[in-house]
Amino acid sequence: MNILVIDIGGTNIKIWTTGESDKLKFPSGSTCTPKDLVAKVKELAADWQFERVSIGYPGDVRHGHPVAEPFNLGNGWVDFDYSAAFGVPVRIMNDACMQALGSYEGGRMLYLGLGTSIGCAFIYDGTILPLALGHLLLRGNKSIEECVNRNALETIGVERWRKRVADAATTLKAAFLAEYVVLGGGNTKKLEELPEGCRRGGNHNAYFGGLRMWEDVKPTS
């Protein structure tokens, strides 16, 4: 079964399909709508064959469908018919959950995605729980998101940013009794040494998560 995986970020949208050796990406941004997404994906993936689509969505997803418009993109995502637009069955999961699913190696895992903002998910013995930990305070009146997002990295510099990432990861690992923390997202490459109990993830794990979303479905004949 060939699966097209789409990871929607606040800065870029990345796509993979089964059998392709690398991803393709294109800018997203505040004016990007689902119609723009579909048109660009079809343009870039014109030579790809796929029977299913997995989407990592940067917002709240319930029962496999977005229930709130994304903060960093345009409007129209909640009421859009994704299956009709792509012409194949589509499954949608919160983007942090999809990356977490692709990073999961069993047990209790906390996932922190370091990108435009911070994506969070917790997996407990295979059950995925989306989280919004970025709202919690880390330094005085500053939230975790304000301390470790891309704007913080650019504002306070990489050394102070690394310290704040370590503080957040260590504190949250203890709070969730996590066996390990996976630090993923595009800004993970800025980290040199990882805090104890942390593992390095990467955007490629979104691809593996997208494939895992269909593991209970048999290929069509």
What is the CA angle 142-146-152, rounded to 5? 125
Within this chain, do residues 57 and 127 fall inside the same structural domain, yes or no? no
Residues 41, 44, 46, CA angle at the centre, nearest 5°?
95
Instruction: Quote the mean pLDDT of the chain.
Output: 92
Which domain range does residue 112 map to? 105-202
Q: Which two tokens stand for residue 104?
A: 């999961």
Task: Write out pLDDT tens, residues 204-217.
Answer: 899 999 999 999 75
| Residue carrying structure tokens 């479905």 | 217
Residues 189, 117 within the same domain: yes
Residue type, 185: G
| Per-residue confidence band for 218, with pLDDT thresholds at 50, 70 and 90 | low
Same domain for 17 and 71, yes or no, is: yes
User: Looking at the structure, do residues 114 and 195 belong to the same domain, yes or no?
Assistant: yes
Model pLDDT, residue 186: 86
Asked if 176 and 108 count as a contact pair (C-beta separation under 8 A), the reply is: yes
Residue 182 within a domain: yes
Identify which has the larger pLDDT, 142 or 21.
Answer: 142
Host H or E run for residue 159: helix 158-175
Across 175-179, average pLDDT? 97
What is the reported pLDDT for 114?
A: 94
pLDDT, mean of residues 48-67: 94
Q: What predicted TM-score, i.e. pTM, was given to this entire model?
A: 0.89
- How far is Cα of residue 42 from the mean position of the Cα atoms in its chain? 21
- 34 within some domain: yes
User: Is it the case that residue 162 has pLDDT exceeding 90?
Assistant: yes
- Residue 219 is predicted with a pLDDT of 52
